[in-house]
Amino acid sequence: MKFYSLNHQSPEVSFDEAVISGIAPDKGLYFPKEIKPLPYSFFDKIELLSNKEIAFTAIHQFVSETIPDSKLNAILDEVLDFDFPIVEIEENIVALELFHGPTMAFKDVGARFMANCLGYFSEGNNEEVTVLVATSGDTGGAVANGFLGVKGVKVVILYPSGKVSEIQEKQLTTLGKNITALEVDGTFDDCQRMVKRAFLDNEITKHKKLTSANSINVARWLPQLLYFLFAFKQVKAKGRDIVFSIPSGNFGNVCAGMVAQKLGMPVKHFIAATNVNDTVPQFMKTGEYQPKPSTATISNAMDVGDPSNFIRIRELYENDFSKLKENFSSYSFDDVTTKATMTKIYNKTRYVTDPHGAVGYLGLQHYQKHNPNTFGVFLETAHPVKFLDVVEETLNISPSIPEQIKKVMGKTKIALKISSYDGLKSHLLQS
Ligand SMILES: *Cc1c(COP(=O)(O)O)cnc(C)c1O
């Protein structure tokens, strides 16, 4: 399978090249040349398959040119060594819990898959690869954890000082080894701008092979399709039209779900729920795409004003607005509504949602008002303790802290403070 650039000014590449370069030379995102549907029998009998078997069959066509089957099996063993349970919230609504991995966010799947692929591609390659990544919170921890100790790969994480939660900061600043954290005096947008500038800076790229571990990288984006299939396996017997609601920021997760649908998974509709950063909900209303600066919210992993993967969604629907609209809706919710919903769910069911999951639930509920005979799955994208202060303050509870989190809380933060692009540049040139 080849991958092409969505800017159409660069040659097609194989999976390994797309992973190593992250973004095409013409600055376009890579996209698979073809998505071959899986046989009907795969979906018809999916409940007889293990998650590992499902994953292997689904991801194989995208990577098989550059990863042998035995290696792919080994990678999937490592990546998928935790559960993806469905929890019933209401009669027609379940949560798909994606937070049972090492950093308790769904990004563990993509980050670990990418780390394993890059580690494999670096074997026998003398040139070291530097993964440069900007995080608003969750990406940093998942990437740090996934890449820790991977030979031939160094990781540099930029995060906005004082704007990530304490747990998130610990997860990305305490590992050491091949992971360096840069604490930026600025916002997430500043971090992202610096990263983009570094990719274009010849003085750096002359000396260093840089790649991105944001969801623009195909190795982080594509494996996210797998847990949509694991969810389908669990809810298929409900015998209703299935809809997925995905709390969205950069729109990589929802886009991966749509790839699962292209593979033949029967889904009636996708809902992307956002916080007040409503560039896509506005687009779905007006047909005009107008990016804007991001606004800080309690669901900080979705504070994105110009979602990088939305262009992939448009490509999946051949840039046809009416086709997209048939299969996709997007709604925005503010923090007050989100908190009220966390409370409502908790009071009714004792289920604790994190602010992102609560936004996903809201999207689903809104859609089901007009489409009552559907069965809804919303993605619970992070464990509530990752947003401890919001959860405590909103629900008046003190949730118990899981082992994964306790382990990092006691460790010492190590981060280099930088306040401008020059700080990043000199770090990259020296290290
Ligand atoms: C990253 C993240 C999101 C947004 O996912 P996208 O793929 O960027 O849309 C939602 N919730 C949580 C908890 C996240 O960490």
Mean pLDDT to the nearest integer, 129-138: 90
Residues 6+ apart with CB under 8 A from 182: 156, 157, 158, 159, 415, 416, 417, 418, 423, 424, 427
CB 377 within 8 A of CB 242: yes
Residue 136 is predicted with a pLDDT of 83
Mind spelling out the 3-state secondary structure of 238-279? HCCEEEEEEECCCCHHHHHHHHHHHCCCCCCEEEEEECCCCH
Q: What spacing in Å lies between the alpha carbon of 125 and ligand 1's midpoint?
A: 33
Candidates 260, 262, 213; CA nearest to 107 is: 213
CB 147 within 8 A of CB 125: no
CA distance 25 to 7: 10
Q: List the domain boundaries for the chain.
A: 83-105+221-399
Q: What spacing in Å lies between the alpha carbon of 249 and ligand 1's midpoint?
A: 6
Residues 6+ apart with CB under 8 A from 141: 103, 105, 107, 135, 168, 171, 172
Candidates 253, 235, 266; CA nearest to 363 is: 253
Residue 24 in tokens: 């095409």
Residue 188 is predicted with a pLDDT of 84
DSSP 160-220: ETT-S-HHHHHHHHS--TTEEEEEESS-HHHHHHHHHHHHT-HHHHTT-EEEE-STTSHHH
Q: Across the chain, which distance is largest between two alpha carbons, in Å?
A: 60
Q: Catalytic one among 107, 154, 233, 386?
A: 107
- Residues touching ligand 1 (Cβ under 6 Å) are 105, 107, 138, 215, 247-253, 301-302, 356, 381-382
Task: Specify the fold of 83-105+221-399.
Answer: Rossmann fold (3.40.50)
Taking only the tens place, the pLDDT of each residue in 186-209 is 988 899 889 989 988 999 999 899
CB 263 within 8 A of CB 38: yes
**Surface-to-core class of residue 12, CB atoms within 10 Å of its CB (0-12 exposed, 13-18 middle, 19+ buried):** middle
Q: Looking at the DSSP assignment, which residues form a beta bridge with residue 159?
A: 183
The pTM score is 0.96
Taking only the tens place, the pLDDT of each residue in 79-121 is 999 999 999 999 999 999 999 999 999 999 999 999 999 999 9
Index of the ligand 1 atom closest to the CA of residue 255: 7
How high does pLDDT run on average in the chain? 95
In Å, how far are 276, 382, 391 from 314, measured between CA atoms?
Answer: 22, 27, 35
Q: What spacing in Å lies between the alpha carbon of 426 and ligand 1's midpoint?
A: 30
**Surface-to-core class of residue 136, CB atoms within 10 Å of its CB (0-12 exposed, 13-18 middle, 19+ buried):** buried
Residue minimizing CA distance to atom 1 of ligand 1: 301
Within 13 Å, how many C-alpha atoms sit on residue 252's CB side? 27
Index of the ligand 1 atom closest to the CA of residue 138: 15
CB 245 within 8 A of CB 271: yes
Q: What spacing in Å lies between the alpha carbon of 207 and ligand 1's midpoint?
A: 32
Taking only the tens place, the pLDDT of each residue in 273-317 is 999 999 999 999 999 999 998 898 999 899 999 999 999 999 999
Element holding 234 (H helix, E strand): helix 226-235
Residue 330 is predicted with a pLDDT of 98
Judge whether residue 35 has pLDDT over 90: yes
Mean pLDDT to the nearest integer, 385-408: 92
Taking only the tens place, the pLDDT of each residue in 147-160 is 999 999 999 999 99
- Which position has the token pair 């494999």? 120
Please tell me which of 17-26, 189-198, 262-271 the model is most confident about, judged by mean pLDDT.
262-271
- Looking at the chain, the whole-number percentage of residues with pLDDT higher than 70 is 100
CB 242 within 8 A of CB 235: yes
Taking only the tens place, the pLDDT of each residue in 40-73 is 999 999 999 999 999 999 999 999 999 999 999 9
CA distance 187 to 325: 33
Residue 137 is predicted with a pLDDT of 80
Judge whether residue 415 has pLDDT over 90: yes
Amino acid (one-letter) located at 113: F
Judge whether residue 376 has pLDDT over 90: yes
In Å, how far are 79, 97, 123, 352 from 341, measured between CA atoms?
Answer: 32, 18, 48, 10
Q: Which of 215, 244, 248 to mutate to test the pocket of ligand 1 (most atoms within 8 A of CB)?
A: 248
Is 417 noted as a catalytic residue in this protein?
no
Residue 311 is predicted with a pLDDT of 97
Candidates 178, 232, 179; CA nearest to 377 is: 232
CA distance 220 to 169: 21
